[in-house]
Amino acid sequence: MYFFGKSDWRTFERGIEKEWLVTNGIGGYASSTIIGANTRKYHGLLVAAHNPPGRRMVRLVKLDERLSAGGRTYNLATNNIGCGVSESGYIHLQQVVIDHIPIFTYSFADITLEKTIFMVHGQNTTIILYRIANGAGPGVLRLTPMVNCRGYHFITSEGQIEFTQMEISSGVSIKSREDVPPLLLATSTGSYIPGGWWFRGMSYPIEKERGENYLEDHYIPGFFEVPLGAGENKTVTVIASTVVFGDIAGEELLEKERYRLKDQEDRAGYDDMLASQLVRASDAFIVRRQSTGSKTVIAGYPWFTDWGRDTMIALPGLTLVTKRFEEAREILLTYARQCKKGLLPNCFLDGAEYPVFNAVDASLWYFNAVYKYLIYTGDLDFIRDQIYPVLKDIIHWYMNGTDFNIYMDQDGLLSTGTPDVQLTWMDAKIDGWVVTPRNGKAVEINALWYNALCIMENLARIYGDKPSCRDLGSLVKRSFICTYWSESEGYLCDVISPEGKDWRVRPNQLLAVSLPYSMLAREQGCRVVRRVWRELYATYGIRSLSPEHSEYKGVYVGDRVQRDSSYHQGTAWSWLMGPFVTAYRRVHNYSAASREQACRFLSPFRDHLRDQGIGYISEIFDGNEPVIPRGCFAQAWGVAEVLRAYVEDVLEIQPPAAEKVEALIRRE
């Protein structure tokens, strides 16, 4: 559990630093700050996924509370408009407790109001559950919803959307667009009073900082009123949904969701607080995609959808370390069926009929995910029957050439792309400008290529197939060392392009040390890790470029151009902590001292889980101190890689089928 008190919201500015998130397993979510002020256009109590996990739309923006008793009205709402804070209800906030599900306790006069927010798994339904201990006199609780019906990337002005409403049992049905279902609002007790006006000029400070439109209007259809008797303890359930519901059983639904989350934690079975917290966080990213009818991985909240590269990097931590093996199998099979000319989808864009394939590394990360699946499950039959042919196909296309100028050169190394196409994970592009051009032979692509060739050779040995990659792997290893390694400097160049070798110190070289199969000698790996630690380590992540380089940008702020120009030019990435810690332990022969240091590397995340996205790990951080969290406040591969490295390299809990698989590989 994460506990917060008045010291966390002594000022409005301090109170909006921390955000909470709950999800529904199909891409929808609810999120805001701990003081209830929406600071992003992405915040809302019901952001529904109308084509799961995509087509996300903000439906219920807020539900503001006012309680009248003893001749006074206590306004619990907190809102910010263009000229400043217009309502400061957070002054009545006594405590916030978040154990995945947030609970807000307000205290004023002799009255206590507790509010719990959660979602129904598998539905675009949010439940707001109030428990009220009323004071000595009678009172009235007024609940005022703000609603909208727009894509979560956009904002709305008054009159831009026409809303109509119709009273239903215990509430109201609010219709706006013909192509989406109405928003249904209802309460377990009390009455609905229709109205119809607009809240004008809600201000989003984070959007302003990002150079986006930051003022928005929201529609208020009316309000609910709930009478409270003197000294009465009362429970009130509010439901916001896009599906027709039956009885409003808030307490029962809450217990069901708590049980589901506890079951995930129990299945993983870690008797360690940080591991359990990350297991709980991992649940938010595993969702169902309607178009494929199977599970996928949301790359990050609040704005990312599912990306192939992110999915394959995150899969071991999200599904294998957590023992969600069926979901891992489902995801691997789904992407196998989507493979085209050796390429796995890079992303599924909202509104697009087909996925986008512009990634060279998604297919190579797929090999790593398959290998990790094997050593965790030992499920050799599934891999042989469903996945092995796809792996063969990927190798074939990469050797002989596929789209985006991806091909194997005569030295065995992969060459990719053109200057105007971004194919690696450093993929920021502003209009026609590729910010971090890495066309040619990128270091991590060839580290992944060698890893894939070794995995393929071992699978061939296990399945009694003709090994076709042994000689090629040896060639790649020789070429890699000769091409990338600098003995005098002790690190690997980042990319070899037609213009020559790029010797900027970047984190991509870590993969040549951390992947299961490495080309480097231990001493070489040790020097790489030391160089990365000295120049790129930034507490919660690894910088994307050394501060010693003239192009380094250490703060990720400003409009889209400013942000994207720093995205991979110094910004620190949380997901890279996984490869860094794994590489560190490997090059130090898994000594007791290296385990202690690995623990020191990951221990700061205990504090970060209380910051920005509570219970989650942020996508990125400033490269400069004090490494402020930026970007998505909940990122799949950040959570996954920190969890994987913590379990495997700090707790030293090894994959259960690793010895079995390794024995089969060694068998002649």
Residue 431: per-residue pLDDT: 86
Query: Angle 663-666-668 (CA atoms, 0-180°, nearest 5)?
Result: 120
**What is the spatial distance between Cα 636 and Cα 21, in angstroms, rounded to a whole number?**
13
Among the listed residues 68, 64, 39, the one whose alpha carbon sits nearest the alpha carbon of residue 145: 64
Helix (H) or strand (E) segment spanning residue 639:
helix 636-645
pLDDT category at 248 given cuts 50, 70, 90 is confident
* Pure H helices in 194-234: 205-209
The model's pLDDT over 618-660, given as tens digits with 9 standing for 90+, comes to 999 999 999 999 999 999 999 999 999 999 999 999 999 999 9
With 70 as the cut, is the pLDDT of residue 668 above it? no
The model's pLDDT over 179-201, given as tens digits with 9 standing for 90+, comes to 999 999 999 999 999 999 999 99
Query: Angle 219-220-221 (CA atoms, 0-180°, nearest 5)?
Result: 110
The model's pLDDT over 569-626, given as tens digits with 9 standing for 90+, comes to 999 999 999 999 999 999 999 999 999 999 999 999 999 999 999 999 999 999 999 9
Among the listed residues 65, 4, 53, 67, the one whose alpha carbon sits nearest the alpha carbon of residue 33: 4
**What is the spatial distance between Cα 308 and Cα 273, in angstroms, rounded to a whole number?**
30
Q: Tokens standing for 350?
A: 């909202």
Chain-wide mean pLDDT for the chain?
Answer: 95
Q: Tokens standing for 96?
A: 């916030």
Task: Specify the CATH number of the domain 269-666.
Answer: 1.50.10.10
pLDDT category at 83 given cuts 50, 70, 90 is confident
With 70 as the cut, is the pLDDT of residue 247 above it? yes
Residue 292: per-residue pLDDT: 87
Q: Please state, in angstroms and as integers, the Cα–Cα distance from residue 144 to each residue in 57, 193, 215, following that order.
A: 20, 10, 20
The domain locations on the chain are: 2-249, 269-666
* Percentage of the chain modeled with pLDDT above 70: 99
The model's pLDDT over 89-136, given as tens digits with 9 standing for 90+, comes to 999 999 999 999 999 999 999 999 999 999 999 999 999 999 999 999
Identical fold between 2-249 and 269-666: no
Q: Tokens standing for 580?
A: 């860094």
Residue 82: per-residue pLDDT: 86
**What is the spatial distance between Cα 437 and Cα 310, in angstroms, rounded to a whole number?**
20
The model's pLDDT over 17-76, given as tens digits with 9 standing for 90+, comes to 999 999 999 999 999 999 999 999 999 999 999 999 999 999 999 999 999 999 999 999
The model's pLDDT over 263-303, given as tens digits with 9 standing for 90+, comes to 999 999 999 999 999 999 999 999 999 988 999 999 999 99
Q: Which residues contact 598 (CB under 8 A, 6 or more apart)?
A: 581, 584, 585, 645, 649, 650
Q: At what angle do helices 470-484 and 443-462 cross, to 10 degrees?
A: 160
Among the listed residues 62, 11, 66, 25, the one whose alpha carbon sits nearest the alpha carbon of residue 41: 62
Does domain 2-249 fall under CATH 2.70.98? My reply is yes
Instruction: Supply the DSSP symbol for 440.
Output: B
CA 146 from centroid of its chain's CA atoms: 27
The model's pLDDT over 353-385, given as tens digits with 9 standing for 90+, comes to 788 899 999 999 999 999 999 999 999 999 999
Q: In degrees to the nearest 10, what's the CA dihedral of 527, 532, 533, 537?
A: -170
Residue 8: per-residue pLDDT: 97
**What is the spatial distance between Cα 144 and Cα 224, in angstroms, rounded to a whole number?**
7
**pTM for the model:** 0.96
The model's pLDDT over 139-157, given as tens digits with 9 standing for 90+, comes to 999 999 999 999 999 999 9
Query: Is the Cα dihedral 354, 357, 362, 363 positive or negative?
Result: positive
With 80 as the cut, is the pLDDT of residue 467 above it? no
- Mean pLDDT over 539-549 rounds to 97
Q: Which residues contact 220 (CB under 8 A, 6 or more apart)?
A: 144, 145, 146, 147, 195, 196, 197, 198, 199
C-alpha count within 13 angstroms, C-beta hemisphere, residue 24: 30
The model's pLDDT over 107-118, given as tens digits with 9 standing for 90+, comes to 999 999 999 999
- Indicate the residue type of 279: V
- Mean pLDDT over 329-335 rounds to 96
Q: Which residues contact 246 (CB under 8 A, 6 or more apart)?
A: none
- Per the model's pLDDT, the better-predicted residue between 430 and 31 turns out to be 31
- Indicate the residue type of 136: A
Among the listed residues 396, 320, 278, 284, the one whose alpha carbon sits nearest the alpha carbon of residue 656: 320
Residue 246: per-residue pLDDT: 78
* Percentage of the chain modeled with pLDDT above 90: 91
